[in-house]
Amino acid sequence: MRRLTLRRAPGRPLERSSARRSTRLLAAAATVLALTAGGCVTVHGELALMPPATQAEAAQALADFTAAYNQADKAHDPALDAGRVTGPFGEINQAGLRARAVTSPGGNPNHHPLELSDARFVMPRKAGWPRWFLADTKGAGDQRWLVVFVRNGPQQLWEAAHLVILGPSQVPEFAEEDGYAVPVAADTDTLAVAPEDLGKEYVAYLKDGQPGPYAAGAHTTLLREERQKGAKRPGLATQYLDRVADQGDSAPLGLRTKDGGAFVFFATRFFERQTAAPGYRPKVDPDIKALLTGEVKNTVTKEWVSNQAVLVKPAGTDRDGVTIRARLQGVVGAQGS
């Protein structure tokens, strides 16, 4: 770049027109560099809203995930899809494969390839990283597999972080702006419960059963009833401890729905502790035993990850503001004592 020299003429103020032109050129060059390096355009210090991917890129991400998932399931080898899964679904997937690699080390004799078709990609625009999108796909029969893909940088792979399975009528209609889906901020005050608080509210309900924002159903009232029935069986006591799981790729992700509410994915973690009467040991299934550390003398503690998809009503809803549409859970670890 040509060096700019500022000269002061006798009795005249400093010339500034050349300085202003130089400043504009430098600003333009900085914008180009920002675009090249990060894939986002900087406008007045803020990153512009960008779609997460093109339709073709999203389709390729789904195809890559499906291929890796099938290879891993056929071989019972978690390494084969470790780069394509993350978050709560990734924990469940990887633990399941590790367990089956022990119980069926020769691979999966009952492997049936997963086929996901009729894909619709729901693309929310956002600034910066991570970026994410929802793949609404057709699985076996008329089931809809809803897979959330996340990507934490331009050099990283798209990974499946959340998965739930719904009937066709259970998939909500998503709101759009300029042809794109509308993401919901984690701390928004426009919903009955902010996405960042869904895990905390769910854990609190499962602990004490006090009325709150969650509607009655299979994953709330009925789940608590099942736990209470199984808490004290002859010779065996069971305790539960629930925890929020909202860090990293387990963070809640939500999309605005046409009715003004939102459809949100979030995760929790819970521990199931079974203690046998003196002189007895809890029974441990082979898949759980494959993940076991320690020796089961009279207690086994199972660690579960649970992935929920919920409909959240708009702010101002006093009761039943959150309905759990689907839940996917799996054991990710076990400890004997």
35 and 73 together in one domain: no
pLDDT in tens, the chain (337 residues): 333 333 333 343 333 344 444 444 434 434 333 333 334 444 443 478 999 999 999 999 999 999 999 999 999 999 999 999 999 999 999 999 999 999 999 999 999 999 999 999 999 999 999 999 999 999 999 999 999 999 999 999 999 999 999 999 999 999 999 999 999 999 999 999 999 999 999 999 999 999 899 999 999 999 999 999 988 888 999 999 999 999 999 999 999 999 999 999 999 999 999 999 998 999 999 999 999 999 999 999 999 999 999 999 999 987 899 999 999 999 999 999 9
The 3-state secondary structure of 195-239, one letter per residue:
HHHHHHHHHHHHHHCCCCCECCCCCCHHHHHHHHHHHEECCEEEE
Instruction: Report residue 278 as tokens.
Output: 């003196």
121 and 1 together in one domain: no
44 and 59 together in one domain: no
212 and 284 together in one domain: yes
209 and 225 together in one domain: yes
H helices within the chain, ranges in order? Answer: 17-38, 55-75, 87-103, 195-208, 221-231, 286-289
131 and 39 together in one domain: no
Residues in the chain: 337
251 and 213 together in one domain: yes
Distances (CA, A) of 149 to 42, 49, 160, 236, 247: 25, 18, 4, 41, 16
CA atoms within 13 A on the CB side of 305: 22
**Among the listed residues 56, 81, 83, the one whose alpha carbon sits nearest the alpha carbon of residue 71:** 81
Neighbours of 29 (CB within 10 A): 11
> What pTM was estimated for this model as a whole?
0.85
The parent domain of residue 304 ranges over 55-336
178 and 96 together in one domain: yes
79 and 224 together in one domain: yes
Instruction: Report residue 328 as tokens.
Output: 């996917």
43 and 122 together in one domain: no
Number of domains in the chain: 2
What whole-number distance in Å separates Cα of residue 317 and Cα of residue 193? 9
